[in-house]
Amino acid sequence: MRGVIMHAPRDVRVEDRENPTIIEPTDAIIRVTASCICGSDLWPYRGTDEVDDTPMGHEYVGIVTQIGDDVREIKVGDFVVGSFFASDNTCEICQAGYQSRCVHATGLDGTQAEYARIPFADGTLVATPGRPDADLIPSLLAASDVLGTGWFAAVAAEAGPGKTVAVVGDGAVGLLGILAANELGAERIIAMSRHADRQALAREFGATDIVEARGDAGVDKIKKLTNGLGAHSVIEAVGTQESMMQAIRATRPGGHVGYVGVSHDVELPGLELFFSGVHLHGGPAPVRRFLPQLIQLIWDRKIDPGKVFDLTLPLEQAADGYKAMDERRATKVLLTV
């Protein structure tokens, strides 16, 4: 089969890879229908994270072609959406809704490919009610990570009726955090973005205000918009020192920060944190917790998160997709397989 390998920073190639096979009786093999490039794939692409001939990709939708002997719920022929972390969905951590930290949690070995092996198929995958119309595929694919992650961030930040929500980060996750906050009933949603095209999508997803300033100037703006108090809920969707401190400082005492940007060299000053009085909750999103609900919202055409994909390329042109996202010419790239 064909699949994407990142050999080194900025060296992405589509190559022949071994077809995956069932290894554990709880595995399934899927024929990938669509995959995508994640903002987190840019960390190794830019050399921030180690990379060494790594099969890429962890977001996917597809059709089940094979199941192991112990798979009970998922059937061959099902169209499925899965989380970017495999989880058994039965342990105490999963039952509490934190499937990305399942005691058996495991990553996936490269879904930017024609086929993929999905561990713990019954715990990881959710079948759609039937074969989706083609126009639903981008949104279902978004549910696999960026929508689920934005949703978790909004839930962790306790976005809801009567709340003012600020969103740090205008990548796909931040934009879908806005969509989630809106669905959860937030009264006011402040998007922090300097890009006109992303601001437009932010407004379409429910943002009521745009703040272009960042860092301390951005925090001042948020305070000005909230009677000097700060937002009730802040979504952090970047993962840098500046963005994390911007999120904490933009939150009012007693408010909540939902942080989902993968943390890179972030160090929190203890005394400032102590006196901030904010709740911090985040981490790798337990996408699996939200998948049944998100799939239904998409199936019923109540939300259209697939709009975050602004470039679609065939798998063979994956390298162009990485380049476009690196140069911020694309927010999120869908790969058709």
| Contacts with Zn ion, residue ranges (CB under 5 A) | 38, 87-88, 91, 94, 102, 145
Q: Measured from the CB atom, is 91 or 213 closer to Zn ion?
A: 91
Question: Could you tell me which residues come within 8 angstroms of residue 261 by beta carbon, excluding any fewer than 6 positions away?
Answer: 169, 173, 236, 237, 238, 239, 240, 243, 244
Shortest Cβ 43–Zn ion spacing (Å): 11
Q: Measured from the CB atom, is 102 or 335 closer to Zn ion?
A: 102
Going by C-alpha positions, the residue among 170, 151, 162, 269 that lies closest to residue 211 is 170
Shortest Cβ 59–Zn ion spacing (Å): 5
Give the Cα separation of 167 and 234 in Å (integer).
Answer: 6
Q: Measured from the CB atom, is 6 or 38 closer to Zn ion?
A: 38
Give the Cα separation of 148 and 142 in Å (integer).
Answer: 8
Shortest Cβ 335–Zn ion spacing (Å): 13
Give the Cα separation of 147 and 174 in Å (integer).
Answer: 9
Shortest Cβ 228–Zn ion spacing (Å): 36
* Contact (Cβ atoms closer than 8 angstroms) between residue 290 and residue 152: yes
Going by C-alpha positions, the residue among 139, 275, 166 that lies closest to residue 224 is 166
Question: Could you tell me which residues come within 8 angstroms of residue 162 by beta carbon, excluding any fewer than 6 positions away?
Answer: 187, 232
Q: Measured from the CB atom, is 77 or 107 closer to Zn ion?
A: 107
Q: Measured from the CB atom, is 22 or 91 closer to Zn ion?
A: 91
Q: Measured from the CB atom, is 94 or 147 closer to Zn ion?
A: 94
Going by C-alpha positions, the residue among 194, 162, 196, 199 that lies closest to residue 178 is 199
Going by C-alpha positions, the residue among 86, 78, 31, 35 that lies closest to residue 56 is 35
Tracing tokens 């058996």 back to the chain, one arrives at 104
Q: Measured from the CB atom, is 186 or 262 closer to Zn ion?
A: 262
Shortest Cβ 101–Zn ion spacing (Å): 8
Burial class (CB in 10 A: 0-12, 13-18, 19+), 301: exposed
Give the Cα separation of 93 and 86 in Å (integer).
Answer: 13
Shortest Cβ 81–Zn ion spacing (Å): 13
Shortest Cβ 98–Zn ion spacing (Å): 8
